[in-house]
Amino acid sequence: MNRLIHRTITEFLRSTYGEDFAQMIRDDRRSMAAPETPVTGFATAGLAFAAERLSKPLPDLYEDLGAWLTRIEPIRRLLRFSGRDFDDFLLRLDELPGRARLVLPVVDVPLLQVDVDDGAIWLTPSRPEIGWQHILVGLLRGMADDYGALCLISVHETAIRVDICDHSFAEGRQFTLYGSPGPGIVP
């Protein structure tokens, strides 16, 4: 599993910043010797080293990773299955850790508490780990785009606030339960 996390981080860095940058991070021993971050309990020191090399705050890199994950079709489909519109998706995010365990049982995604207050949706992870919090912000940003919603997403201490400004700001991406038809499958 640790290799899967490392491979995901490497692929994110490669597709976002190029092969040379990803190779530099992989090859530099400091990326493996840096202190561990608590995001998954796995080695994410490579991300910390990449953030340093990019002169980018680590929370921003986590957020970019979360947004990047939504562009991977199986992950996108798993997330889209959670709601018919962005509101429904947000209100059902408390189911996300269970869904994640179906796919990756050893990744300890924190439980999420979902609350509605003053028209805003608040998401509070059970463990206030900055990595998970910002990965979730990136996932939300990517999924808002996927649904075509315009929203403001902000971090308030250990919680995330989502204010939806326009539910149909843009045309959302197509989504069907059955996915792309394979050979012999008629939609």
92-96, 134-138, 156-160, 178-182: least confidently modelled range: 178-182
pLDDT for position 79? 82
47 and 85 together in one domain: no
Asked if residue 31 has pLDDT above 60, the reply is no
45 and 121 together in one domain: no
Q: What's the pLDDT tens digit per position in 77-130? A: 788 777 788 999 999 988 888 877 777 777 777 888 999 998 899 999 888 777
In a domain, 182, yes or no: no
133 and 89 together in one domain: yes
102 and 46 together in one domain: no
Question: pTM of the predicted model, to two decimals?
Answer: 0.81
77 and 159 together in one domain: yes
In a domain, 177, yes or no: no
Choose between 115 and 31: higher pLDDT.
115
Q: What's the pLDDT tens digit per position in 42-72? A: 356 778 889 999 999 999 999 999 999 999 8
43 and 110 together in one domain: no
Tell me the H-state helices in the chain: 2-17, 19-27, 30-33, 45-54, 58-69, 73-80, 86-91, 96-103, 130-147
Q: Is 94 exposed, middle or buried (0-12, 13-18, 19+ CB in 10 A)?
A: middle
39 and 84 together in one domain: no
Using DSSP's 3-state secondary structure scheme, residue 177 falls into coil
Integer CA distances (angstroms), 125 to 36, 134, 152, in order: 20, 11, 18
162 and 82 together in one domain: yes
pLDDT for position 151? 94
50-59, 136-145, 160-169, 175-184: least confidently modelled range: 175-184
In a domain, 139, yes or no: yes
Supply the CATH number for residue 81's domain: 3.90.1520.10
Q: How many domains does the chain divide into? A: 2
Mean of pLDDT values over 13-19? 93
Q: Which domain holds residue 160?
A: 73-166
Choose between 76 and 114: higher pLDDT.
114
160 and 120 together in one domain: yes
The model's confidence at residue 147, banded by pLDDT at 50, 70 and 90, is very high
In a domain, 112, yes or no: yes
pLDDT for position 119? 86
